[in-house]
A and B are shown apart, each in its own frame.
Chain A
């Protein structure tokens, strides 16, 4: 069975602090994709990153960075120097590759509040 766990339900940080959102996944597939999405209060789910299971390189995009560790089945997301605009719910997600429209399994989400 596939499962995504985001143990942090809510996080509050003060602006300019760094924050890491944890994601742990379970799958028996050898090939899979991991995703992070951001959902601001407006509702739209914004795609942030996709990582396939063969690529364990960490990635940095501006203030965002991702740490993929297959050995611990984790795909953590760090925001450096957080800003108020980062306040949102963040979802980690997992999909297999058996069909191109495999179900995407979403984690429960982490609600991040950045306080000015």
Chain B
């Protein structure tokens, strides 16, 4: 069983809606990630948080707004999305120690459909 849990598993939202994706991990990891994955493609990095601070933003449109309330939680706030934003959104976490490398552990993902 995954130790990174994501809710909701499925979400359908209109283009004017505001919704949030939530992620929680209890592995003591201090780096957390959001990835976006379109069908038949590899995951694409969106954001990285390290010690609750945003460290990487891969030029993601502002209609996606990440938030890291504490070391275990990561949210992705969604507003005014477009149909092309429909995808699988994967949360992940890892250690932040060089000696351990950075094996990233993923959650089950949230399937988002924008209508």
Interface residues, chain A, with chain B CB atoms under 8 Å away: 33, 35, 37, 42-47, 50, 52, 91, 95, 97, 99-104, 106-109, 111
Contacts and interface: CB of A to CB of B under 8 A. Distances in A.
* Size category, B interface: 20 to 34
A97 B98 contact: yes
Interface of B: 2, 31, 33, 40-43, 45, 48, 50, 55-56, 88, 90, 92, 94-98, 100-109, 111
B100 to A, nearest CB: 8
A100 B103 CA distance: 10
23 contacts: A33-B101, A35-B103, A43-B88, A44-B2, A44-B107, A44-B109, A45-B90, A46-B106, A47-B103, A47-B104, A47-B105, A47-B106, A52-B101, A97-B101, A100-B50, A100-B96, A100-B98, A101-B33, A101-B55, A101-B96, A106-B43, A108-B41, A109-B40
